[in-house]
């Protein structure tokens, strides 16, 4: 017998199924996927623990989806993000993991990790006319240098600027920032003088210790604002090596009477992270749905698998708003690619999926050739 269930009931059943399937996945599962939102904490009291649990699941889905939309879109677009309800969030979810569950007769508390479906979220953002980025920037490791009374502190235990970064924790956005351990090896690898002078050889070696592409040299100076008399922290940050290009970013944080360097330091660190995120999203964001350009490109193929692989890579390419099949033959597939910005921006976008666009010199109707070398198979 076929029983029709309302959408809410189906989504609830899917949540239970996802818990069963994903409950034993390793803890590192969330970190590699930008469409995964981890560490969602819920703690609710209701008439019964079952009601509290159901409300907690709904709250976690909404909170995670809102966080994901903010993670993928530029800050300037956040005021245009659509309202999120549970039905929308659950319909875009693909996996749920629950840890540290605690229940009483009327209370439910847990930590959740929710993974959303990339294809559905991409479509949702494009339908709402929102530019977005979905590839993570090359990671950087921070070197927090504190300047005070003519001295320079980097690895000392009483460095309040380093303490602020440690309190804030690593970034979970699209511009990952790693915190150094500050051990003896770090002390030997990089001195505050070398960080401030932008010694590229030492900074490169320091980044390599953490598997990072570059070093975020972050300087801070604490004092009293001469005009207002309030505590003041001046921060300067710059990425040396690969990573989001923020130039020489400057930020001043004014506090209230009694605010210590660590308090202002956390706020300044947040501002630096926000600058990294904004820079990377501007650099790699896929366009919104309006004002698109288009071009025709031929893709040489050796079979249907090459065509399917190219479609997947185009779907994942920043800068490709959408693509349409124009013509399909035994050895050539012709695409119309829709994009915003310049053709160089489009080429940079497809290059992130190991493809290239080159002018077509064969006299075809297509002015461009899409070059998509086969992916290397790893066994």
Q: Which residues contact 4 (CB under 8 A, 6 or more apart)?
A: none
Cα 38 from Cα 25, distance rounded (Å): 13
Question: What is the C-alpha separation between 175 and 168, in angstroms, rounded?
Answer: 15
Cβ count near 364 (within 10 Å): 14
The whole-angstrom separation of Cα 64 and Cα 60 is: 6
Q: Which helix (H) or strand (E) holds 28?
A: none
Question: How does pLDDT run across 313-360, given as a tens digit for each residue?
Answer: 888 888 788 888 877 787 888 888 888 778 888 888 888 888 899 988
Average pLDDT over residues 236-250: 90
* Domain residue ranges in the chain: 7-127, 140-284, 293-371
pLDDT digits (tens, 9 = 90+) for 211-240: 999 999 999 999 999 999 999 999 999 999
pLDDT of residue 234: 96
pLDDT of 172-181, one tens digit each? Answer: 788 889 999 9
Q: Indicate the fold that domain 293-371 takes in CATH.
A: Alpha-Beta Plaits (3.30.70)
Q: Residue 107 has what pLDDT?
A: 97
Spatial distance between the Cα atoms of 35 and 94, rounded to a whole number of angstroms: 10
* Residue 19 pLDDT grade (very low, low, confident, very high; cuts 50, 70, 90): very low
For residue 229, give the 3-state DSSP assignment: coil
d(CA 59, CA 19): 16
| 3-state secondary structure (DSSP) of residue 217 | strand
Task: Give the whole-angstrom CA distance, residue 230 versus residue 330.
Answer: 73
Which CATH class, in words, describes the domain spanning 140-284? alpha beta
Reported as a single tens digit per residue, the pLDDT across 62-117 is 999 999 999 998 887 888 899 999 999 999 999 999 999 999 999 999 999 999 99
Q: What are residue 323's phi and psi, to 5 degrees? A: -145, 150
Residue with tokens 């920037």: 137
Cα–Cα–Cα angle for 345, 350, 353, nearest 5°? 145
């Amino acid at each position: 017998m076929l029983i029709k269930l309302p959408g809410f009931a189906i989504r609830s059943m899917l949540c239970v199924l996802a818990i069963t399937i994903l409950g034993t996945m390793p803890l590192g599962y969330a970190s590699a996927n930008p469409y995964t939102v981890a560490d969602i904490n819920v703690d609710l009291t209701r008439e019964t623990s079952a009601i509290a649990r159901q409300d907690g699941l709904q709250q976690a889905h909404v909170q995670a989806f809102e966080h994901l939309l903010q993670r993928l879109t530029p800050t300037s677009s956040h005021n245009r993000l659509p309202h999120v309800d549970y039905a929308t969030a659950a319909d875009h979810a693909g996996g749920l993991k629950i840890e540290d569950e605690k229940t009483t007769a009327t209370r439910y508390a847990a930590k959740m990790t929710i993974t959303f479906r990339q294809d559905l979220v991409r479509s949702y953002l494009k339908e709402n006319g929102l530019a977005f980025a979905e590839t993570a920037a090359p990671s950087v490791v921070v070197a927090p240098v504190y300047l005070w009374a003519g001295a320079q502190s980097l690895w000392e235990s009483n460095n309040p600027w380093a303490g602020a970064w440690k309190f804030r924790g690593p970034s979970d956005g699209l511009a990952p920032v790693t915190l150094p351990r500050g051990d003896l090896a770090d002390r030997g690898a990089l001195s505050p003088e070398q960080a401030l002078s932008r010694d590229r050889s030492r900074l490169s070696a320091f980044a390599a210790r953490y598997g990072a592409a570059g070093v975020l040299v972050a300087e801070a100076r604490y004092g009293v604002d001469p005009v207002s008399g309030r505590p003041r922290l001046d921060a300067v940050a710059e990425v040396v090596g690969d990573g989001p290009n923020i130039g020489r970013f400057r930020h001043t944080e004014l506090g209230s009477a009694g605010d210590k360097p660590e308090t202002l330091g956390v706020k300044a660190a947040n501002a630096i992270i926000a600058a990294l995120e904004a820079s990377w999203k501007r650099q790699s964001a896929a366009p919104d749905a309006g004002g698109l350009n288009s071009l025709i490109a031929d893709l040489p193929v050796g079979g249907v698998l090459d065509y399917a692989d190219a479609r997947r890579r185009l779907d994942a390419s920043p800068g490709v708003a959408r693509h349409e099949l124009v013509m399909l033959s035994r050895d050539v597939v012709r695409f119309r690619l829709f994009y915003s910005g310049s053709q160089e921006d489009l080429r940079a976008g497809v290059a992130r999926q190991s493809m290239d666009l080159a002018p077509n010199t064969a006299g075809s109707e297509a002015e461009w050739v899409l070059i998509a070398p086969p992916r290397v198979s790893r066994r």
